Amino acid sequence: MRIWRSIHKGASMLLILISFDAFGQRLTSTFTDKPIVIDGYLNDSIWQSTLKPIELIQRELHEGRASAYKTYIAIVHDLKNIYIAVRCIQPTKTITAYELSRDFNVQLDDVIYILLDTYRDKRNAFVFYTNPRGARGDYQVFDNGKASNLNWNGVWDVKTRIDSTGWTAEFIIPFITLRYETGKNLSVWGLNIERNIRHLREQSLWQGWKRDARLNLVTNAGELLIQNPPGANRFTEIKPYAISGTGTHRPSADQVMMWRKLYNAGGDINYLINASYRFNLTFNTDFAQIENDRQQVNLTRFPLFFPELREFFLEGQDFFDMGFGGDRVIPFYTRRIGLDSNYQPIPMLAGARMLGKSKGTTLGAMSIQTGRTENAIPENFSAFSFRQDVGTQSTIGAMTIMRINDQFIHTTTGAHFRYSTATFLGSKNLNIGGALVGTATSRDPFDQQNLAYRVFVQYPNDKVNVFLSTQRAGSQFDPKVGLMRRTDFHEYYAMVNYQPRPNPDGRWKWIRQFVFSPVTITSTNLNEGNRLQTFQYSILPFGMETRSGESIYLYATRQAEGIFEPFRIFGNTLIDVGEYWFNRYTAELSTFRGRKLWVSGNLSTGELFNGKSTDISLDVNLRTSRYVQCTVLSTYTMSDFDTTRFDVLLTSMRIRYAFNPNTFGFILGQYNSATQEYILNYRLQWIPFPGADFFFIANQTLRPLSQKGLFTSAFNIMGKLIWRFVI
Sequence-separated contacts (24+) of 455-459 with Cβ below 8 Å:
456/325, 456/431, 456/432, 457/430, 457/431, 457/432, 458/429, 458/430, 458/431, 458/432, 459/424, 459/428, 459/429, 459/430
Q: Which backbone phi and psi does 538 adopt, to 5 degrees?
A: -120, 145
pLDDT above 50 (res 14): no
Residues 221 and 357 in one domain: no
Structural domains counted in the chain: 2
Stretch (H or E) spanning 126: strand 125-130
In a domain, 201, yes or no: yes
Mean pLDDT of 385-396: 91
In a domain, 492, yes or no: no
Residues 192 and 309 in one domain: no
Q: State which of 173, 192, 227 marks the end of a domain.
A: 227
Q: Which backbone phi and psi does 438 adopt, to 5 degrees?
A: -130, 150
The SS3 of residue 144 is helix
Average of per-residue pLDDT values in the chain: 86
Instruction: Supply the pLDDT for residue 225.
Output: 92
Residues 187 and 318 in one domain: no
Instruction: Supply the pLDDT for residue 263.
Output: 83
The answer for residues whose C-beta is within 8 angstroms of residue 667's C-beta and 6 or more apart is: 654, 655, 657, 680, 681, 682
Q: Are 312 and 722 in contact (CB under 8 A)?
A: no
Residues 210 and 318 in one domain: no
Q: Which backbone phi and psi does 404 adopt, to 5 degrees?
A: -125, 130
* The residue count for the chain: 727
Q: Give the bridge partners for 190, in sequence order.
A: 117, 223
Instruction: Supply the pLDDT for residue 2.
Output: 39
Q: How far apart are CA 623 and CA 630, in angstroms?
A: 6
Identify the band that residue 154 occupies on the pLDDT scale cut at 50, 70 and 90.
Answer: confident
pLDDT per position as a tens digit, 453-511: 999 999 999 999 999 999 999 989 999 998 887 888 999 999 999 999 998 888 888 99
Q: State which of 207, 227, 247 marks the end of a domain.
A: 227
Q: Which one is predicted more confidently, 646 or 522?
A: 522
In a domain, 178, yes or no: yes
In the chain, % of residues over pLDDT 90: 50
In a domain, 220, yes or no: yes
Instruction: Supply the pLDDT for residue 585.
Output: 97
In a domain, 567, yes or no: no
pLDDT per position as a tens digit, 28-85: 987 888 889 999 999 888 998 889 999 999 999 899 999 999 999 999 999 889 999 9
pTM: predicted TM-score of the whole model, two decimal places? 0.82
Q: State the pairing for strand pair 26-31/71-77.
A: parallel
Q: Are 139 and 234 in contact (CB under 8 A)?
A: no
Q: Which backbone phi and psi does 441 adopt, to 5 degrees?
A: -130, 140
In a domain, 92, yes or no: yes
Closest CA to 268 of 368, 343, 337, 172: 368
Residues 222 and 313 in one domain: no
- How many CB atoms neighbour CB 43 within 10 A? 10
Instruction: Supply the pLDDT for residue 22.
Output: 35
Residues 185 and 330 in one domain: no
pLDDT above 70 (res 294): no
pLDDT above 60 (res 442): yes
Instruction: Supply the pLDDT for residue 4.
Output: 35
Q: Give the bridge partners for 194, in sequence order.
A: 113, 205
Q: How far apart are CA 176 and CA 209, in angstroms?
A: 30
Identify the band that residue 707 occupies on the pLDDT scale cut at 50, 70 and 90.
Answer: low
Q: How far apart are CA 618 and CA 630, in angstroms?
A: 14
Mean pLDDT of 642-659: 89
Q: How far apart are CA 649 and CA 634, in angstroms?
A: 7
Identify the band that residue 3 occupies on the pLDDT scale cut at 50, 70 and 90.
Answer: very low
Q: State which of 182, 202, 227 marks the end of a domain.
A: 227
Instruction: Supply the pLDDT for residue 19.
Output: 40
> Which range marks the domain in which residue 464 is found?
303-485
Best mean pLDDT range from 114-128, 251-265, 315-329, 696-710: 114-128
Residues 207 and 311 in one domain: no
pLDDT per position as a tens digit, 586-640: 999 999 988 889 999 999 999 998 889 999 999 999 988 889 999 999 999 998 9
Instruction: Supply the pLDDT for residue 291.
Output: 52
pLDDT above 60 (res 9): no
pLDDT per position as a tens digit, 214-271: 999 999 999 999 887 776 556 788 889 898 988 887 777 677 777 888 788 888 888 8
Residues 315 and 169 in one domain: no
Instruction: Supply the pLDDT for residue 16.
Output: 35
Residues 447 and 315 in one domain: yes
Instruction: Supply the pLDDT for residue 653.
Output: 94
In a domain, 642, yes or no: no
pLDDT above 60 (res 21): no
Stretch among 263-277, 445-459, 554-568 having the lowest mean pLDDT: 263-277
Mean pLDDT of 343-354: 84
Residues 318 and 209 in one domain: no
In a domain, 589, yes or no: no
Residues 315 and 408 in one domain: yes
Q: Which backbone phi and psi does 100 adopt, to 5 degrees?
A: -130, -20
pLDDT above 90 (res 134): yes
First and final CA of the chain: distance in angstroms?
39
Instruction: Supply the pLDDT for residue 448.
Output: 84
Cα torsion 144, 147, 150, 152: sign: negative
Residues 308 and 174 in one domain: no
CATH at 154: 2.60.40.1190
Instruction: Supply the pLDDT for residue 59.
Output: 94
Distances (CA, A) of 44 to 12, 13, 50, 249, 575: 20, 17, 10, 57, 71
Mean pLDDT of 521-536: 89
Q: Which one is predicted more confidently, 225 or 319?
A: 225
Which residue type sits at 11?
A: A
Q: How far apart are CA 161 and CA 18, in angstroms?
A: 22
Closest CA to 162 of 250, 42, 34: 42
